[in-house]
């Protein structure tokens, strides 16, 4: 167990009403380092009581109005300060993330780590959006003027996963808080440490106490009471479809609004006219980055038959550079999976792959690593599109590779999925790129690229990959109460109401 973590006043504690506190029950759970299987520390294990305190703190902060009715310029100032602090403490945050969930530190960067720069951007983007966004005024004729109002709505529940803890948390916090709401955040039990730095940052940046609260713990013990709490008016959730269904059912009983960003089985579609070197590198990055634990991972690779053999040869060579190893080392690109449960799950799929298809490379535990939840980068070939390994989200560094003959067959295979999150198209033909973009049943499409973002665009998925979109004005719609006010321009009585 790490002494410095245990002695920290903030790490592994809830953050409620501006204070770092243990669980009311005194209960804890273990945070485990997935690279070493060692226990990092005991973490506050939240339940219904902790959620009740946090929601009460959030509600009283909302009602006080120091944030919810503050000038947009004040909220902007605080969120910009928080963004600066995220960048300043980037190395510290990334280190805690690596300890808790195994994502590699990556090389030394001259400035903040790119994932922290993106987290800071989330805050700055919505801090500006809320200041600039306006409503509509309609002057129907000379008798009536109406205008829309988008005000802070109340207390939101934010429930986030472990695969990019701070980036995905700030993606929800930023609009929630920027538009003046209060939040109770339930980070994943698998990444309960790094969030404490964000809590410190919000306090230092001058956010009024109680506006943002974090309750650590399990979904069943802390997540469910948050969803069910009567003062919580909406839930923004990123995680698995099964959990989303549970949240949707509970939220329905009190008619809460929900927004769901879920899993995927996204296809990288590589046409014969693509820049093959770039496509191979990007396809590998798309499935091996973060050990494949990314919702938009390109876990199915579809390759036009005339370049199929060439692709396999090059893909195997590129994959060799994704060697599993110590995520604390600056040269490691592939860390462990997040947990024993996730490791066992992925190993189960690798066993299945041997009966459903053929393992081209990888397919097991790296022989040089005795401890930790490591899995080799793996490619599965000679597999039918309806095989479970082609249909189910594995959430590991495992790609299935399937050949196709023409553009319509590529679209048919890509769309043959219960998921619809992302699609990657590799072709030099603009006509092919746009034809495929319009026909792919996914919320997001990247052409000859991957992961580029403009935060004004809708992020989210179709089918089992999500319900609702977040980004730009769509986040504003979700996180505000949109209403109208109407007033007559001539004395009432002379005008007729319609």
- Residues whose CB is less than 8 angstroms from the CB of residue 14 and which lie 6 or more positions away in sequence, other chains included: 20, 21, 22, 23, 44, 46, 50, 54, 213, 214, 215, 216
What's the min distance (Å) between Cβ of 238 and ligand ADP?
7
Contact residue for ligand ADP among 12, 104, 161, 461 (CB under 6 A): 161
- Write out the H or E segment, with its range, that includes residue 351: helix 340-356
Q: Which is nearer to ligand ADP, 112 or 263 (CB)?
A: 263
Contact 119, 104 (CB under 8 A): no
DSSP SS3 for 399: strand
SS3 content of the chain, % helix, strand, coil (to 5): 40, 20, 40
Q: How far apart are CA 295 and CA 188, in angstroms?
A: 15
Q: How far apart are CA 325 and CA 370, in angstroms?
A: 11
Contact residue for ligand ADP among 80, 109, 218, 361 (CB under 6 A): 218
Among the residue ranges 127-135, 221-229, 301-309, 435-443, the one whose residues contact ligand ADP (CB under 6 A): 221-229
Contact 272, 279 (CB under 8 A): no
Q: Which is nearer to ligand ADP, 198 or 247 (CB)?
A: 247
Q: Which is nearer to ligand ADP, 218 or 435 (CB)?
A: 218
Q: How far apart are CA 449 and CA 10, in angstroms?
A: 39
Contact residue for ligand ADP among 246, 273, 392, 416 (CB under 6 A): 246
Site membership for ligand ADP, residue 103 (CB under 6 A): no
Q: Which is nearer to ligand ADP, 223 or 372 (CB)?
A: 223
Site membership for ligand ADP, residue 219 (CB under 6 A): yes
Buried residues in 71-96 as b, exposed as e (16+ CB within 10 A)? ebeebbebbbbbbbbbbebbeebbbb
What's the min distance (Å) between Cβ of 351 and ligand ADP?
20
Q: How far apart are CA 172 and CA 446, in angstroms?
A: 22
DSSP SS3 for 16: strand
Contact 144, 486 (CB under 8 A): yes
Binding mask of the shown chain, residues 167 to 196, with x at each position contacting ligand ADP by CB under 6 A: -------------------x-xx-------
Our answer to whether residue 390 is catalytic in this structure is no
> Which one is catalytic: 189, 295, 393, 470?
295
Query: In this structure, what token pair is assigned to residue 423?
Result: 């699609």
Our answer to whether residue 261 is catalytic in this structure is yes
Q: How far apart are CA 20 and CA 18, in angstroms?
A: 7
What's the min distance (Å) between Cβ of 341 and ligand ADP?
9
Query: In this structure, what token pair is assigned to residue 371?
Result: 């401890």
Contact residue for ligand ADP among 12, 34, 239, 325 (CB under 6 A): 239
Contact residue for ligand ADP among 205, 224, 294, 398 (CB under 6 A): 224
Number of residues that bind ligand ADP (CB under 6 A): 17
Contact residue for ligand ADP among 12, 102, 104, 223 (CB under 6 A): 223
Beta-carbon count within 10 A of 490 CB: 11
What's the min distance (Å) between Cβ of 299 and ligand ADP?
14
Q: Which is nearer to ligand ADP, 230 or 498 (CB)?
A: 230
Q: How far apart are CA 256 and CA 247, in angstroms?
A: 10
> Which one is catalytic: 261, 356, 376, 393?
261
Site membership for ligand ADP, residue 247 (CB under 6 A): yes
219: exposed, middle or buried (C-beta count within 10 Å: 0-12, 13-18, 19+)? Answer: middle
What's the min distance (Å) between Cβ of 48 and ligand ADP?
12
What's the min distance (Å) between Cβ of 220 and ligand ADP?
6
Among the residue ranges 2-10, 61-69, 79-87, 237-245, the one whose residues contact ligand ADP (CB under 6 A): 237-245
Site membership for ligand ADP, residue 227 (CB under 6 A): yes
Q: How far apart are CA 419 and CA 244, in angstroms?
A: 14
What's the min distance (Å) between Cβ of 187 and ligand ADP?
6
What residue ranges bind ligand ADP (CB under 6 A)? 159-161, 186, 188-189, 218-220, 223-224, 227, 239-240, 243, 246-247
The set of catalytic residues is 261, 295
């Amino acid at each position: 167990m790490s002494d410095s973590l245990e002695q920290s006043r903030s790490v592994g504690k809830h953050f409620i009403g501006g204070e770092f506190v243990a669980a009311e029950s005194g209960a804890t759970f273990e945070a485990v380092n997935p690279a070493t299987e060692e226990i990092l520390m005991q973490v506050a294990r939240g339940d219904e009581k902790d959620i009740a305190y946090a929601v009460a703190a959030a509600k009283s902060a909302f009602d006080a109005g120091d944030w919810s009715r503050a000038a947009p310029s004040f909220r902007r100032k605080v969120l910009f300060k928080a963004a600066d602090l995220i960048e300043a403490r980037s190395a510290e945050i990334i280190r805690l993330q690596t300890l808790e969930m195994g994502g590699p530190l990556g090389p030394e960067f001259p400035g903040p780590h790119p994932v922290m720069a993106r987290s800071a951007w989330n805050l700055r983007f919505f801090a500006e959006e809320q200041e600039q966004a306006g409503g509509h005024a309609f002057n129907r004729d000379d008798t009536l003027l109406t205008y829309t109002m988008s005000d802070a709505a109340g207390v939101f529940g934010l429930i986030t996963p472990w695969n990019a803890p701070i980036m995905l948390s700030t993606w929800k916090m930023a609009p929630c808080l920027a538009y003046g709401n209060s939040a109770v955040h339930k980070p994943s039990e698998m990444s309960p440490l790094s969030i404490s730095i964000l809590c410190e940052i919000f306090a230092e940046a001058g956010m009024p106490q109680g506006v943002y609260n974090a309750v650590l713990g399990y979904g069943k013990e802390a997540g469910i009471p948050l969803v069910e709490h009567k003062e919580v008016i909406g839930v923004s959730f990123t995680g698995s479809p099964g959990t989303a269904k549970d949240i949707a059912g509970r939220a329905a009983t009190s008619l809460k609004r929900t927004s769901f960003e879920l899993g995927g089985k996204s296809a990288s579609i590589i046409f014969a006219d693509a820049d093959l070197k770039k496509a191979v590198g990007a396809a590998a990055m798309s499935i091996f980055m973060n050990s494949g634990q990314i919702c938009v991972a390109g876990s199915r690779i579809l390759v036009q038959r005339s370049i199929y053999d060439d692709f396999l040869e090059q893909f195997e060579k590129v994959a060799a550079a994704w060697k599993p190893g110590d995520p604390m080392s600056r040269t490691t690109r592939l860390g462990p999976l997040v947990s024993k449960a996730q490791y066992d799950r992925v190993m189960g799929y690798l066993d299945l792959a041997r009966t459903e298809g053929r393992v081209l490379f990888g397919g097991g535990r790296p022989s040089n690593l005795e401890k930790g939840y490591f899995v080799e980068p793996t490619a599965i070939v000679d597999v039918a599109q309806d095989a479970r390994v082609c249909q189910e989200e594995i959430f590991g560094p495992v790609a299935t590779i399937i050949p196709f003959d023409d553009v319509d067959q590529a679209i048919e295979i890509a769309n043959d999925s219960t998921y619809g999150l992302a699609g990657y198209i590799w072709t030099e033909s603009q006509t092919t790129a746009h034809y495929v973009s319009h026909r792919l049943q996914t919320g997001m499409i990247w052409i000859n690229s991957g992961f580029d973002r403009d935060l004004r665009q809708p992020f989210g998925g179709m089918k089992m990959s999500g319900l609702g979109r977040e980004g730009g004005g769509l986040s504003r719609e979700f996180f505000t109460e949109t209403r109208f006010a109407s007033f007559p321009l001539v004395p009432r009585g002379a005008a007729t109401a319609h």
